[in-house]
Amino acid sequence: MKALVTGGGGFLGRVIVEQLLARGDAVTVLSRSRYPQVEALGASGMSVDLSADVPDLAEKLAGFDVVFHVAARAGVWGARDDFFSINVEGTRRILEAAKAAGVGRFVYTSSPSAVWGGSDEENLSESDCPYPTKYLAIYPESKAAAERLVLSAGGAGFATTALRPHLIWGPRDPHLVPRLLERGRSGRLKIVGAGKNRVGITYVDNAAHAHILAADALAPGSRNDGKAYFITDDTPVVLWDWINALFGELGVPQVTGRVPVGLARLAGGVLEWLWRTFSRPGEPPMTRFVAGQLSTHHYYDLTAARQDFGYTMKVDPKDGLARMVAYFKAQSDG
């Protein structure tokens, strides 16, 4: 298989590249900057900025069998145009170019937040989660808009699917775990609510494996053509127990302080107003989206992914945790 991976130098994208190369596929990484370390593994590199028009993009995509569109702007705060120019318009550009180039398959990395309205989601299936009418942050709104573009683009020999991996974690994580560790070490992390909310999380190798399984099964009219799927590890975790277990392994003080959910959400709303009104730099220390994510149940029924393209975990989360702890210990020692 000849595969193109956007964002192949990033956290999830690189593992997708590694797994594809390991089984003998030809892989090209498309990104704004070249990644010599990834290319040294055997991938080719292609420099393209998807936030701007690329007149010859379809020509560049000619000959590929599948596009894994992983690249995105993530975060809980920022300008609307910054998120939409990359997550929506960038997706539109590569989607249309792939279709014009005759690429047969398009696998999009979405997010469960695209269908999260701020309340508990306990063991829900894809059909139980319509797109909300209002979003608590720009990022999930942009991911939902892009997902809709992808899922409606099929036809004429072109098949598309979207995966929604939740809270990806593992070695080389530059987002979730470093953020938790920084806040934990500085004493700025507090349990929001009762601290018993269960959350589906996804070890990075399992998220990458799901993408490849979905691509292998994808074809016009296949069971996963035009559909979106939740992806997590098999069993949800109690979020704050998991965080404290990780902190214990890495010598970070346990999180014991608490803040009521209502107060956290109110503070998030006030801080968002202050940051928007006075154009303060960085992001607010709390937002309504973060308060909701830290306090609600959000884990999902994986039946559709298992039935439609055979999703299974590649790495047991216990092994994944040991690998991640070893990685971050080595980082701190270095």
Q: Which residues are catalytic?
A: 139
Report which residue type is found at 10. G
* Distance separating alpha carbons of residues 328 and 330, to the nearest angstrom: 5
Judge whether 300 and 112 are in contact, CB under 8 Å.
yes
Give buried/exposed letters for 209-248 (b at 16+ CB in 10 A, else e): bbbbbbbebbeeebebbbbbbbbbbeebbebbebbbebbe
Judge whether 233 and 203 are in contact, CB under 8 Å.
yes
Report which residue type is found at 151. L
Report which residue type is found at 199. V
Strand partners, 69: 6, 108
Q: In the numeric block, which tokens belong to residue 189? A: 């992390």
User: How close are the terminal C-alpha atoms of the chain, in Å?
Assistant: 38
* Distance separating alpha carbons of residues 121 and 242, to the nearest angstrom: 19
* Distance separating alpha carbons of residues 66 and 98, to the nearest angstrom: 9
Residues 6+ apart with CB under 8 A from 300: 112, 121, 123, 124, 125, 164, 166, 200, 230, 232
Residues in the chain, total: 334
